[in-house]
A and B are shown apart, each in its own frame.
Chain A
């Protein structure tokens, strides 16, 4: 792309960015109402169960949501481009086994190398998704649904009947996920750092805005010279890399790694991202939303687990609370919008 083209496009673009920053306030309101929902849930569970509001339990909640946030950020990036990635469960599963097996068989290998190798494998898996979607223009739901099975199949072939258990791994492997700083879980620190970088990228860089613009109006974005293929490819690679990192964390956190690890996890991640207000129609949403969405799901899951709910009803009640939370969220948003309109007229 020549620099001349860039300058030509600049005014138009500025306008888009300007309009976006106008919309930004609504996004922020969107998150505000989600945070209110989260606070309401915390208050509710604190009243229902005396054990809910404890430092240990909040530590548990942020630990529980961290892997969802990390994978969710990659998925959100893909959703921003008006695509979807439903293969994350298998990417996490495959990389979890790969990393744990690698470390168990080569105990002398520095862990940083294991982490990088797992991220690289995840990146390759993501590149396959992104490559097919971007170059062949096949709908991403079909591509990633296919690779969901392919990656799981490779995992199954690789793992066979083998398991890597916490006993096979070095104690240091465990600490990748279990370290704390001033009592604050390290696994959540990873999530926050990744979220911080992603937030700055999306909100404060030209590239990040291009990504959102591409999702909100692919045709206009293309006319503006935004290289859509490259962004779509990049988003899928990122989703893969973050899944690869999550794979290492999974093994470190849950101990036993077999070929069924993280089965169905893609839906948990999608639920968190969508609850967090990221639009499946592209171009809309925020990283903060992903964090709040994951937090809402974790609070509901852990809150219900502390109440003496029968496990057979747990899922149904969990679904019910999620729907109720979203209805409450919409209700708040409408009130806010109505008040704003009222103030204008």
Chain B
């Protein structure tokens, strides 16, 4: 009677030893992984907000250009639709595959943090780009421009087109998109200037980057606020949807639409005069810079401390600012005059 019990106990003991053995070997191997490696020997996992988005496809082009220059294996994986749970799964599998670095455009700054922390514990370097994550959960953040500059440049176009007076409303993407919320804060801050005292923000809405939802929001805003003169759409899906709604309801002479546009898709909005101007940056450059920054971070050339510099290939030398943030440059305002030239250079998507 005792024998089976004994067997079981010894089996459990053996298992425990085996498991503790695993546990003790893992950290030592990650210590090696944590030490500086060269980018050429590395796998770098880049996770966009959505792979089904032409903007991110253009960022991908930048990743490829940089990885061809620097070497390293690029893994570009992400959710087809913008789902944060799918992003978390990609982070977990990248952690298991021992990627040297994970670069992420976070859909939700806090939701992805725990899984990034877990990956970081095994020696994976964490880089945020496009959309930041909770600060303790990443080393560096590659930002296309300061939130303030992005918010203000979009607001300026709108205010200009509205002659600084009248009601305006916002149709953003997800309410959890931190970067967009910061732009909106910057717009609100700028609107406090006495110059814009004639302008009134009537409502801020979130279309989740869904064309139907954004369209429906635009229609209800136009109906609910008959005096509405401007729609601010700081995301291309909402921009396109708002333009369509304004056209469908025949109020294009009354309401101006602007915000963030993607010249790769929306050049005609400018050339046809439906939108006076919109703002973006070069997504190809963003991918290129992010890959260079990630490589420098992997190789230990930068640690995320303020004032460190690194070489970013054709973009020259870049400096790390406060909180590990790298600013790519100033936002670009696209109009019918400069959009065609920009398309080829900055928005060529690699599928």
Q: Which residues of A contact B (CB under 8 A)?
A: 49, 51, 56-57, 60, 64, 156, 159-163, 165-167, 178, 250, 253-263, 301-302, 305-306, 308, 311-312
B216: which A residues are within 8 A, CB to CB? Answer: 64, 301, 305
Chain B 50-65 interface 0/1 with A at a Cβ cutoff of 8 Å (1 = within): 1111101100000000
CB contact list, B249-291 vs A, under 8 A: 265-266, 268-269, 272
- When C-beta atoms are compared, the residue in chain A nearest to B220 turns out to be A305
Write the nearest CB–CB distance from A176 to chain B, whole angstroms.
13
Q: How large is the interface on B (under 10, 10 to 19, 20 to 34, 35 or more residues)?
A: 35 or more
Bound-state CA distance A253–B65 (Å) is 38
Q: Are A257 and B211 in contact (CB under 8 A)?
A: yes
Cβ contact of A160, chosen from B219, B223, B351, cutoff 8 A: B351
> Nearest Cβ in chain B — how far from A299, in angstroms?
13
Contacts of B81 in A (CB 8 A): 156, 259-260, 263
Taking CB atoms, residues of chain A closer than 8 Å to B206 are 311
Contact A261 B212 (CB under 8 A): yes
Task: With A161-B53, A306-B224, A308-B224 as known contacts, state yes or no: A256 contacts B203, CB within 8 Å.
Answer: no
Q: Chain B's interface: helix, strand, loop or mixed, by majority?
A: helix
* A259 contacts B220, C-beta separation under 8 Å: no
Residue numbers in A under 8 Å from B219 (CB-CB): 60
Q: Which single member of A255, A301, A302, A312 contacts B175 (CB below 8 Å)? A: A312
Decide: A160 and B52 in contact? CB cutoff 8 A: yes
Smallest CB gap from A258: residue in B: B52
Are B224 and A254 in contact, CB atoms less than 8 angstroms apart?
A: no
What residue in chain A is nearest B351 (Cβ atoms)?
Answer: A160
Extra pairs beyond A162-B54, A167-B272 (13, CB < 8 Å): A161-B53, A161-B351, A162-B351, A166-B243, A167-B269, A250-B212, A254-B211, A255-B211, A255-B215, A257-B211, A260-B52, A305-B216, A305-B224
Given A56-B223, A308-B224: A254 and B244 interface contact (C-beta under 8 Å): yes
Is the pair B53, A258 in contact by a Cβ cutoff of 8 Å? Answer: yes
Hey, what's the 0/1 contact readout for B24-59 against A, CB within 8 Å counting as 1?
Answer: 000000000000000000000000001111101100
Set of chain A residues within 8 Å of B266, measured between Cβ atoms: 165, 167
Given known pairs A51-B226, A259-B81, the reply for A159 and B237 (CB within 8 Å) is no
Whether A254 contacts B53 by the Cβ 8 Å rule is no
Provide the bound-state CA to CA distance between A312 and B175, in Å: 9
Chain B residues with CB under 8 Å of chain A are 50-54, 56-57, 80-82, 175, 203, 205-206, 210-212, 215-217, 219-220, 223-224, 226, 237, 240-241, 243-244, 248, 265-266, 268-269, 272, 349, 351
B224 touches A156 (CB 8 A): no
Q: What's the Cα separation between A262 and B211 when bound, in Å?
A: 9
Minimum Cβ distance to chain B for residue A247 (Å): 13
13 contacts between A and B (CB under 8 A): A51-B226, A160-B51, A161-B56, A161-B349, A163-B53, A166-B240, A167-B265, A254-B211, A255-B215, A255-B241, A301-B216, A302-B220, A305-B217
User: In the complex, which of the residues A60, A161, A162, A260 has the most CB atoms of chain B within 10 Å of its own CB atom?
Assistant: A161
Residues of A within 8 A of B241 (CB): 254-256
Q: Are B223 and A262 in contact (CB under 8 A)?
A: no
Bound-state Cα–Cα, A156 to B351, Å: 13
* Beta-carbon contact of A308 and B269 below 8 Å: no
| B211 and A156 contacting across the interface, CB-CB below 8 Å | no
Q: Which of B51, B56, B203, B268 contacts A167 (CB 8 A)?
A: B268
CA distance A308 to B82 in the complex (A): 28
Closest B residue to A64 by CB, please name it.
B216
Closest 7 CB pairs of A and B: A305-B220, A161-B57, A255-B244, A167-B268, A256-B211, A156-B80, A260-B81
Q: Which residues of B contact A49 (CB under 8 A)?
A: 224
What chain B residues lie within 8 Å of A160 (beta carbons)?
51-52, 57, 351
Min CB–CB distance A327 → chain B (angstroms): 26
- In the complex formed, the residue of B with least CB distance to A303 is B220
Cβ of A159: which chain B residues have Cβ within 8 Å of it? 52
Nearest-Cβ distance from residue B337 to partner chain A, whole angstroms: 18
User: Contact check: which of A57, A163, A167, A263 meets B223 at CB < 8 Å?
Assistant: A57
Query: Which of A60, A261, A312 contacts B211, CB < 8 Å?
Result: A261
How far, in angstroms, from A178 to B223 measured CA to CA in the complex?
18
Q: How far is the CB of A188 from chain B (nearest CB, A)?
A: 15
- Provide the residues of chain A in CB contact with B211, threshold 8 Å: 254-258, 261
CB B281 to nearest CB in A, in angstroms, measures: 18
Closest to B238 in A: A256
- Closest A residue by C-beta to B349: A161
Cα separation A259 to B212 with both chains bound (whole Å): 13
CB-CB < 8 A to A255: which residues of B? Answer: 211, 215, 240-241, 244
- By a CB distance below 8 angstroms, the chain A residues around B237 are 256
Q: Flag if B223 contacts A259 (CB, 8 Å).
A: no
How far apart are the CA atoms of A247 and B182 in the complex, in Å?
A: 36
Bound: A57/B226 CA distance, A: 12
Q: In the complex, what's the smallest C-beta–C-beta distance from B60 to chain A, in angstroms?
A: 8
Nearest A residue to B203, CB-CB: A308
In the complex, chain A residues whose CB is within 8 Å of the CB of B224: 49, 51, 305-306, 308
In the bound assembly, the distance between CA atoms of A160 and B265 in angstroms comes to: 14
How long is the Cα–Cα vector from A57 to B175 in the complex, in angstroms? 27
Q: Which residues of B contact A263 (CB under 8 A)?
A: 81, 210
Q: Looking at the complex, which one of B175, B205, B210 makes contact with A260 (CB distance below 8 Å)?
A: B210
Within 8 Å CB of A253, what residues of B?
A: 215
Once bound together, how far apart are the Cα atoms of A2 and B215, in whole Å?
A: 55
Q: For the complex, give the distance between the alpha carbons of A163 and B224 in Å.
A: 30
Nearest chain B residue, comparing its CB with the CB of A259: B52
Residue from A60, A165, A306 in contact with B265 in the complex, judged by beta carbons closer than 8 Å? A165
A260 to chain B, nearest CB (A): 4
Min C-beta distance of A345 to chain B, whole Å? 50
B259 to chain A, nearest CB (A): 14
In angstroms, Cα B272 to Cα A160, docked, is 27
Q: Which residues of B contact A259 (CB under 8 A)?
A: 52, 80-81
Q: Are A163 and B226 in contact (CB under 8 A)?
A: no
B205 in contact with A311 (CB, 8 Å): yes
Distance between A334 CB and nearest chain B CB, rounded to angstroms: 35
Q: Are B223 and A306 in contact (CB under 8 A)?
A: yes
Q: How far is the CA of A57 from the CA of B222 in the complex (A)?
A: 11
Whether A256 lies near B80 (C-beta < 8 A) is: no
Chain A nearest CB, measured from B56 CB (Å): 7
User: Complex formed: what's the CA distance from A255 to B50 in Å?
Assistant: 20
How distant is B46 from chain A, measured CB to nearest CB, in Å?
14
* B57–A254 touching, CB < 8 Å: no
